[in-house]
Structure 1
Amino acid sequence: MRNRYHHLEELEDFLAGTFHQDISSSQQALDEFISEVTKECLLSTIKDCEELLNSDVTNQEKEDFIQQHAEVYFPEIELTPLQWLYKITEQMQEAVRTK
């Protein structure tokens, strides 16, 4: 499976670097990421997220990828990994409009 996602290394870095075990909440981690990065970085991260979301791999493979790289307890936030990634992508898109 790793070879299928070779082009998504930046997304791996974003998920693991932002949503790690030391965060208080995934929303707080995302808010901090948005406030600390440039508009160009946000656009690049959105592109990386969209590449995974729009890829031709199965939804299960997408969810496995997200779970492998983000330390988020999805039952607590009542979203599936895919729903969560769509949501944070939308939040980043909104942040781009105001940056």
Structure 2
Amino acid sequence: MLLINKQKDPVFQFLAGTFHQDIETPDDAIQELLIEESKEYLEDAIVFLTDFIESEHSDNKKNDYIQSCADGVYLPAFNLEPIDWLKNVIVQIKKSLKKFKR
């Protein structure tokens, strides 16, 4: 794993808090996140998720970390590597923030 203390890691908190085993679907979880979280949190999430994706860790380690944190998402169903799925989540957050700016 990337961090010994995952509880303090914002990426862990985001993934585990949003995409836990009790979600209906990943899309529902994203929609709930976009409705319930503040604009400021979503902006912060873009930053820390992007920093994670661009970090020096190998893609394999990042993929394993994403999979372990987002345990409510069956990523093979998306036909994407976990890191690519997370990039799509970031895109969805960015799209929702554009609505705030109107």
The corresponding residue for 2:48 is 48
The answer for unaligned runs of 5 or more in structure 2 is none
TM norm structure 1: 0.90
The corresponding residue for 2:14 is 14
Q: Which has the higher helix share?
A: 1
TM-superposed deviation, 1:78 = 1.8
The corresponding residue for 1:34 is 34
Distance in structure 1 (CA, Å) of the matches to 2:12 and 2:30? 15
TM norm structure 2: 0.88
Task: After the TM superposition, list the runs of 4 or more consecutive aligned residues in structure 1 that deviate by more than 3 angstroms.
Answer: 1-6
Q: What is the aligned-residue identity percentage?
A: 33
Residue-pair matches, total: 98
The corresponding residue for 2:59 is 59
The corresponding residue for 2:75 is 74
TM-superposed deviation, 1:5 = 8.2
RMSD: 1.8
